[in-house]
Structure 1
């Protein structure tokens, strides 16, 4: 497919700078295009319905007006935004077989995917901190986790990543792109886009590593630290009912953490030599689609408060 381009004069000579890219996605399996469209469309509807339901019940049910459910509602909102950055474009590409995306649209998609991914990491860390305070310092919980503090923590989860992710995106798209304009991925993620860049990309790869440490590894270590304190405290609880309830809320959170962080860490922190386009696609599906799909299922099936709130809303109407 021939796409518009401009010639850019550089010290090295003439380079072809593409003004549009092709999101290759799953074009290598043409016989499954409509099956994939139907499957991802159903998944998108499940994500919108499931996470939307979590948002509604945590907002309207007074019994769920606690910090834990405030963070859960916000996490579900971030999940909806995150998946909406990638899935609608993928569905359009599968449905129309027109896979082109402009440079500006690609940069915009990359920025929002990075920002929302960072927000998810921080929110999961905040949720772990909330469980730590609730279980390890229950007498101080209402004093520490005030509504103002909860809002500040959510705001910080959103805002902290803006300068770094904006800088990363600008740095990537300031590079000249040549030779090929085909991004072998289903969205504009940094690694597959960088493969199309000409010239030295060491600085960009270093930035990816630093950002991964700041926004993936650091929150993950905070979560592990929180649970290193939580688990021994839960095991010391005298009541079996209390232990079961504590483990129920914690295990739901830990399941989501392992799904999201596991695939993200492998994607961004494994050696460059072990990268392959197909592996990256599969891993990306986990943290962009699988986690948002299972998040409401994990929290609702293992949480009696959420089930009760949902029943009240359903029977009310």
Structure 2
């Protein structure tokens, strides 16, 4: 019974002194035989800062509308559920699995949701340097993309069965990101620039790839992006003497270039090889992890499963949500 009480007491002390995400003042006994390893502490502080940087770079969810698509829509959703499995200051690695689903509610009889895109992935992040104000890190990912349909991909006439055809492809991606943080009196500005490559397994054989995609779908892609995120200083709603920095505005640019041969398109045939988007996010102080979004772009090859043959410009608007399914211990 005494040992059980001691364990409870130690747990109580741990929760109130070493709670993750909070810092408390403690008295250190310098007479202890094993002094604190300052190098290890410094490394863990750096790892924790980078873990927060990785979270900033996770793809948010979108719900709203897109205009000027070939198939008119009523609503569009891009749901990104992130399940963080490794997030500890003891490691420079950060690992999460994402359950991404893209949906389009069509403006047609019965208002159908035609073959959503399912894109689960595993994403590993690795810190390359020790400066959270000028971070550098790698991201390695494995992603499966399918529409959940089992019908024949091709019609007898050689065209793609867009109504009930199977679409599936698996791919690996590697991204390199550099960043810069600038602290100001009332804002914290973060800049992130990313460049990477995406290789689909269909490039090396039919395994994991729907029949008919080789030669017609981009299996080698160069991806890149830029994020400019501004956090603003707000006064605490309860205690006017306190303040905190919260997300305020974000500008995000993304692009993709298909680098391998497909459908006989030349390397400079950008209308079929190049995709780009520019988005602006604005978060009011009364919003919690949700922001308004407006943007637009061009898709040289549509990223909505078997509709990949479509090329078009679009405008989008709606709301965006931050990290989903990340349950904080504090």
Greater helix percent: which structure? 1
* Structure index of larger Rg: 2
TM-score range, shorter chain: under 0.3
Q: What is the TM-score when the length of structure 2 is the normalising length? A: 0.24
